[in-house]
Amino acid sequence: MVTFSFSLPTNLPVLPLHTAIHQDVVRARSDYQDELGWPALAAQVRGVADGANVVVASNYGEAGALELFGHGLPPIASTDVTFRYWRPAVAGRRAILVGFPKGTASGFCRGYTRLSRIQMPTANQERGLPIARCTLNAGLATEWSRIRRGARL
């Protein structure tokens, strides 16, 4: 019983977020850590997405967060893991890039403008990565393989 009570916060998110962060429980579970801030990420992207035809996320975690919480966003695309199988049909080339540095994005778009950096409550792999606007060199379907290569760098 003592072991169960002690391990409960690590196995289930039963503590308030600030307590879990302060006691390093979040660090023990990278899946918790990676999901923290998903609603805020979606709000951050929504705040800069006006006029965009597509949001391209560099990994499936970002794409999943935007798909789940990004109500009102343009279609979400990512070449990472199984998300690559659901490439949206997008006519325009105006893109919001989530998690792509300028050097990586230069292989598939032009006019890269960093708008902000991803803000997360804990240090995870997304924190601090850029959110940018650019124009895809060609349609999303044409640029898909170049985006995929860039996302792997």
The stretch 2-26 carries a mean pLDDT of 62
* Average predicted confidence (pLDDT) for the chain: 87
CA distance 41 to 62: 8
| pLDDT value, residue 149 | 87
| pLDDT value, residue 4 | 47
Looking at per-residue pLDDT, the higher value among 24 and 84 belongs to 84
Under the banding of pLDDT at 50, 70 and 90, the label for residue 13 is: low
pLDDT of residue 18 exceeding 80: no
CA distance 141 to 77: 11
- The model's pLDDT over 31-79, given as tens digits with 9 standing for 90+, comes to 666 677 899 999 999 999 999 999 999 999 999 999 999 999 999 999 9
| pLDDT value, residue 122 | 76
Per-residue H/E/C for the chain: CHHHHHHHHHHCCCCCHHHHHHCCHHHHCHHHHHHCCHHHHHHHHHCCCCCCCEEEECCHHHHHHHHHHCCCCCCEECCCHHHHHHCCCCCCCEEEEECCCHHHHCCCEEEEEEEEECCCCCCCCCCCCEEEEEEECCCHHHHHHHHHHHHHC
| pLDDT value, residue 29 | 65
The domain segmentation of the chain, as residue ranges, is: 1-35, 37-152
pLDDT of residue 117 exceeding 70: yes
pLDDT of residue 123 exceeding 90: no
| pLDDT value, residue 27 | 67
Q: Name the pTM for this structure.
A: 0.83
CA distance 66 to 136: 20
